[in-house]
Amino acid sequence: MITPGGVARRRPARAAVHGRRAAGHSLQHGWFTRRAAGKREDMRFGYKLMAEAFDPKELIRQAVRAEEAGFDFVEISDHYHPWLEEQGHSPFAWNVLSAIAARTERLGLATGVTCPTVRYHPAIIAQAAATLAIISDGRFTLGIGSGERLNEHVVGQGFPSVRVRQEMLAEALDIINLLWQGGYQSYQGRYLQLEDARVFDLPETLPVIAVAAGGRHAAELAATHGSGLFATEPRRDLVDAYTGKGGSGPKYAEIPMAWAPTVEAAAQEAHRTSRWSLTGWKVMSELPNPVNFAAAAETVRVADVREKFVCGPDPQPYLDAARTYAEAGFDHLVLQNAGPDPDGFLEFFSRELKPRW
């Protein structure tokens, strides 16, 4: 609701932008749910741009190649630090996406994911996402989540508990949706505030907001405050929680892969740069620096990586992994390649995977 003083109090953000969101939402759905006679065509495949592992110019080059290879969209991680020192990079994701928008024509763009509560204020993310949606001609999806200490502690504001982070995320979504209504807006939340702010440049079609979820509460938040779901596991319970609360937008999920001419070469490289991912989300969200992730992953073996990542040159395990996520209800599958040869993987997708999906 809006108080007599013009300050918005917390309420379901979805209702705040119903008119504009409803129009935009159907347009976005038109992008990813086309169907042909007798053939389902609502599955979309994305390429994960690992901003922790490559410099910004290389990420832009990979995105252009991904479009040429037939990917539907790219998704980029929004980090301040890499997970491991060996990765060696962490450019500003929003600059990279803007450059990709200028270099591509049909490729969808997404953050995977941005935290709009500590390192960024949601007013900044509302403005940035609206601008990127305009310059990309409606190709942008705003993926957001509650963040990791690795990236958020750098501004010296501490890192809240899981419960508080989820409450802050709900307030951030309120603010973003409120600003996307247009006009001057104010908001007084428990954690976040907004004073007489207006995003002047709004796109005709608002971006989908895909909310990252590792549990039921966050999946329900994706339905009530967002317009899409984002996950990293093939969990049907997350999809059910999202749709059970009325969620009907795209459902994104990342699939860990490592392409190389041999299984061993793929697993070795994935172990070198991505062993951190086996530490578990409770650990991943709380460690402050790359050195801590290196210590936490000391016991991770190459054999452990082979169990989590699809490795090697055989297309069938990749197809099987994608099917597992699709059967869980996800329709936007993000292929996250941790192998040593990005161009080889892109060619592999174009030649061996895309024709079979």
Catalytic residue numbers?
Answer: 79, 148
**Taking a C-beta distance cutoff of 8 angstroms, is the pair 74, 63 a contact?**
yes
The single residue listed with the structure tokens 């090697």 is 312
**Cα 190 to chain centroid, rounded:** 26
Rounded-to-integer distance, Cα 257 and Cα 243, Å: 28
Type of residue found at 14: R
Contacts of 271 (CB under 8 A, 6+ apart): 300, 301, 302, 305
Give the residue from 253, 232, 251, 226 showing the smallest Cα distance to 240.
Answer: 251
DSSP 154: G
Residue whose C-alpha is closest to residue 235's, from 255, 205, 265, 210: 255
- Alpha helices by DSSP H, listed for the chain, are 13-16, 18-32, 56-69, 93-103, 122-135, 149-152, 162-179, 216-225, 236-244, 263-274, 281-284, 290-296, 302-308, 315-327, 342-348
- Say which residue the tokens 């601008």 belong to: 131
Closest by CA to 208, choosing from 183, 189, 226, 230, is 226
DSSP secondary structure letter of residue 277: G
| Residue labelled with tokens 């932008």 | 17
